[in-house]
Amino acid sequence: MTALARLIAEPLPFAVLLGIEYTQADPDRVTAELVVREDLCTVPAVAHGGVYMAFADTLGAVATVLNLPEGAHTTTIESKTNFLAAAPAGSKLSAETTPVHRGRTTMVWQTRISNEQGRLAAIVTQTQLVLPAKT
């Protein structure tokens, strides 16, 4: 089963809550879309900053898992977001996560989130700690 098929068949609960729909998943690139629902908005009705951050964090974690050695786990230890454009309720955000660094103890991922017009809405850089398999 491919990584994308596995994510669709066995989705992460928080990703389901956000409404994340994966479009590609492999060790070098994870892409997904998210429709900005009103319950994900602030005032005025635009995506809350936490939505961008959670969207990117989820994709970065998935990308890390696709690169982990057998039995290892991961957790986010740092994340930085630049907010560049608002996404109104009803619009769709697209995200692409790619590696900056894939090391033995940490991995760094960059997620670019764009709006429907292709404008960069946020850029997130996160560091994932690689937790070795328990022996």
Does the pTM exceed 0.85? yes
Strand partners, 101: 108
Phi, psi dihedral angles at 19 (to 5 degrees): 90, 25
Task: Give the Cα separation of 52 and 55 in Å (integer).
Answer: 5
CA distances to 25, 43, 83, 134 from 59, in Å: 9, 26, 17, 24
Summarize pLDDT for 45-98 with one digit per residue, the tens: 999 999 999 999 999 999 999 999 999 999 999 999 999 999 999 999 999 999
How much is the pLDDT for 29? Answer: 97
Residues belonging to the chain: 135
Domain count, the chain: 1
4 has pLDDT over 90: no
Helices within the chain (DSSP H only): 3-9, 13-18, 49-65
Give the confidence band of 1 by pLDDT, cuts at 50, 70, 90: confident
Please choose, from the candidates 52, 134, 56, 128, the residue with its C-alpha nearest in 3D space to the C-alpha of residue 87. Answer: 52
Q: 98: domain range? A: 3-131
Q: What is the CATH number of the domain that holds 34?
A: 3.10.129.10
Q: Map tokens 């319950």 to a residue.
A: 39
